[in-house]
Structure 1
């Protein structure tokens, strides 16, 4: 049986009517862009906390205060990894929070937890306090890494959804770059030698609370509720107002009417499906359990969840965070020594990361997810292969082959560039757009938790890999770049420009006869509410006038 086609949407008119894709489309609605920038401060916190620790670990004053942390590789690995454990927990528990209290308030709550973790880390007196502070910061980062792409995906129209969610990765890149350069500057407080002051490492850790306070205020006072969440909890009038505000259009505009129609249709279908499939689930908690269970037992949802989680795993095992967390160590292994290690391994990596993310911001909705991933996989794979080979050949002779060390550094930078515009962005966009509304937050929570579990593993084992299998570490990462290319080329569907309510067409949902019958009943209910008319606004617009072509709707004003 053919996949169900939602009335009024499957012909792509809604996506086309919203105008150009990518950056041009975003800048036509500057308010939407400002919302994306504000929410992406969650990514900035994520990136800053990831990047700041690598510089702190090599500071003299930190080594004097916590000699065990500075010189015990296993303890260092756990100090880095405890943040990922917290993030995994935060991502999992945040799904029900985001559904119950809204996407915007889950972002605000995460910042309260983050500030608590930041205070503990900044005022730390012992190793236990440092671990607890990083765990709390990790919980908040896990919440934000789930809430921000979920929120951005739900407020974005299909023509710019990829570019808008990419702002999350841009925030991460800017956070990493900022932390690297702040570390580089503060290491000279009191001098970079034995007279270095504790402020040199306490200051960069404490500064991460500044953007968190900003995001707490912005999320509470400025960010509108997600219209899709408002429909999910039955606040339909508010949903219409929120969508009109985000799109900067009147509530009776054809775009608003059509998008509301499609959201309402999808939401009611999902709600009725839950009630009819699970009649014994009388309580909210029982329904929540059944929805989580659906992600495993329903074939098309299981496929989407598997794809989302596999993408998170591959992203981490290409080696990105091994470089982010242990960049000074890696650059030291390839023969670059002195202050240049900190500058080259951190500051330049951060700049390249930010600039390369811009490619995805510009091209993700123009080129598509698959093409971006394929090109990035090739670039990352070649880079890891060359670094591994140079390392294998010159492992014991870097000092007499300085040019080989610089060549390895250049290809590490090329790897960073290819990662940033490809899977570094797509892994946040893809899960945020492919799930139906009833399980979207739960599925994204599981996918992001998978990312953090893999991140935890990488943070924990990389020091051991670098000291035990040495150049084999980079061959290991190269293998996952090859896996990424093969998987995307043969198995991953393209989602560019597809409205969120039409993803079932790609993934094969709503195929059973009972689903078709249920959708017909939902559509009939909506039609009855409108006086037995067709509720599809685009269909009504086509019937109402023989003189206005659909292309003319693009000329309607976009701002109010």
Structure 2
């Protein structure tokens, strides 16, 4: 047995070396060699820009005098207005996104990733058009339009990373999927600066500012959405989706085109067989766990994601994964990051920057620092590990919250005479965003994606995303009430919850850096689940000829090495 295991390991080591030789190195050079795929993935990431833009844009709009004139009892700065209704203006987008996230898996699987993105764009456009009628219709148009826009945003946030991961070759897949997070922070950054610029249209005071000041930031997002909508018509289907839906010849052709290789090239065939193996694995796992959903009808596909998520609660080991995914996303949102992104001008106004223009300028800095400090996470996360980055980031954010609370409590009634204290608090907000950018922004999503067995991963990630959006909605809803009623207590609450988040990560969440599926099962107490997945995959690999091909590649020399330069 020991000799067989050693032979098995040697075979896979040799096969992996062969594959790496065919693929070439990762990094910037690999992106250049795979420039067609990089171009396609970067284009699809316009969906991430739209998501980020929506996250940041509305905070600037809320601060504009011309917008407040149309909002009546929803006026964000009317002291007599209901703070709960003010929260609805912002938070209803997250409620729509939560629904869009739940539907996105069904859309992506039945219509394809490509057409799923197109449908999400159409929904997004409808929501923007409805919001643009708010000059006549008032707050009802903003509420309805933002809910519909949120459905489009939620779908794009889920489908675009799936599409990018499935068109990308293995050596650049991580970089291209990470591009989505950068696109989101880029969208946040430009939304703040567009809001700052349009605030000057017609003037900056109530009664003189033009409605264009807030209509332009809302309507300008139509342009990138139309670009994405039109461009996706010409983008290729996901090879993985084609294989899963029995269109194998078309999948081979697209895969060869994406890799700029002949259709009979060894690397094309190797990747095609791996995609086919993954597809068969998923189908057989579903057939075993949910035999009543074996038939691939649209209704069964719709029911599958809900039935599969329910199954995650039925064993102790899987329930522990549920706790890690949902609670990690709970704490990510209750760090207060989206309270800052949605209400930054309001927060800066409370911290002494009473001029709308100055508070919007400070808000623009938030977008810049978040974008810049998201980049190091891509470089550090696999070297340092998930837990240290999450804990350090949480401690940093909590300290910023507590310092802001102290400054606020000491100076809330004398900002005019304590300008330095006001700017110190503003600087702490900027530092808070820096700590989030390199830690909980990307790392929380990585943990949620890694902890699941292969057969449960799509449904586990959907559960984590659902927790993210629902808590996002709650934070957006209650923040205006907290800022008005408990003022600096808002920062104490976020600070305490962030410390609890650090404790949860340290004491409950295992380190997932470089763990295999089998090792992940051991730390979650479900030994054997990954082994069963592994055995099923081995059986499929042998059945479709992938094992024989890998064995031949491992021992057969370098017959195709001369072609690797075109990969």
Q: TM-score range by the shorter chain?
A: 0.7 to 0.9
Bigger mean CA offset, 445-454 vs 405-414: 445-454
Corresponding position of 2:66: 61
Deviation readout 1:449-497 (Å, 9 max, x if unpaired): 2211111111111111122222222122223332343343444455567
Contact 2:453–2:529 (CA under 8 A) maintained in structure 1: no
Residues 251/300 of structure 1: CA separation in 2 closer, same or farther (3 Å cut): farther
Alignment gaps of 5+ in structure 1: none
Alignment gaps of 5+ in structure 2: none
Contact 1:153–1:432 (CA under 8 A) maintained in structure 2: no
Alignment of 1:64-463 (within 5 A): 64-70=69-75, 71=78, 72=81, 73-124=83-134, 125-157=137-169, 160-193=172-205, 194-222=207-235, 224-281=236-293, 283=295, 284=297, 285-286=299-300, 288=304, 290-297=307-314, 301-364=318-381, 367-432=384-449, 435=452, 439-463=456-480
Contact 1:21–1:366 (CA under 8 A) maintained in structure 2: no
Residues 480/62 of structure 1: CA separation in 2 closer, same or farther (3 Å cut): same
Residues 454/400 of structure 1: CA separation in 2 closer, same or farther (3 Å cut): same
| 1:83 Cα deviation from its structure 2 partner | 0.8
Q: What TM-score results when the alignment is normalised by the length of structure 2?
A: 0.85
CA distance in 1, matches of 2:460, 2:59: 31
> Is 1:13 aligned with 2:16?
yes
Corresponding position of 2:555: 543
Residues 9/384 of structure 1: CA separation in 2 closer, same or farther (3 Å cut): farther
Contact 1:158–1:497 (CA under 8 A) maintained in structure 2: no
Corresponding position of 2:542: 527
Contact 1:153–1:433 (CA under 8 A) maintained in structure 2: no
Residues 296/178 of structure 1: CA separation in 2 closer, same or farther (3 Å cut): same
* Aligned partner (choices 474, 489, 498) of residue 472 of structure 1: 489
CA distance in 2, matches of 1:514, 1:429: 21
CA distance in 2, matches of 1:421, 1:528: 44
> Is 1:41 aligned with 2:46?
yes
Bigger mean CA offset, 474-483 vs 461-470: 474-483
Aligned alpha-carbon RMSD (Å)? 3.5
Contact 1:269–1:519 (CA under 8 A) maintained in structure 2: no
Deviation readout 1:311-338 (Å, 9 max, x if unpaired): 3222111111111111111112222222
| 1:344 Cα deviation from its structure 2 partner | 3.5
Residues 393/10 of structure 1: CA separation in 2 closer, same or farther (3 Å cut): farther
Bigger mean CA offset, 364-373 vs 420-429: 364-373
SS in 2 for 1:291: helix
SS in 2 for 1:153: helix
Query: Which one scores higher on RCO, CA 8 angstroms, separation ≥ 6?
Result: 1
CA distance in 2, matches of 1:334, 1:402: 9
Bigger mean CA offset, 368-377 vs 61-70: 368-377
Corresponding position of 1:506: 520
Contact 2:280–2:540 (CA under 8 A) maintained in structure 1: no
SS in 2 for 1:221: coil
| 1:401 Cα deviation from its structure 2 partner | 2.5
Contact 2:60–2:360 (CA under 8 A) maintained in structure 1: no
Corresponding position of 1:559: 566
CA distance in 2, matches of 1:258, 1:477: 49
| 1:428 Cα deviation from its structure 2 partner | 3.9
Contact 1:314–1:484 (CA under 8 A) maintained in structure 2: yes
CA distance in 2, matches of 1:356, 1:105: 33
| 1:341 Cα deviation from its structure 2 partner | 3.2
Deviation readout 1:373-410 (Å, 9 max, x if unpaired): 34433332332232223223333343333222211111
Bigger mean CA offset, 305-314 vs 465-474: 305-314
Q: What TM-score results when the alignment is normalised by the length of structure 1?
A: 0.86
| 1:127 Cα deviation from its structure 2 partner | 2.0
Query: How many residues are treated as equivalent by the alignment?
Result: 545
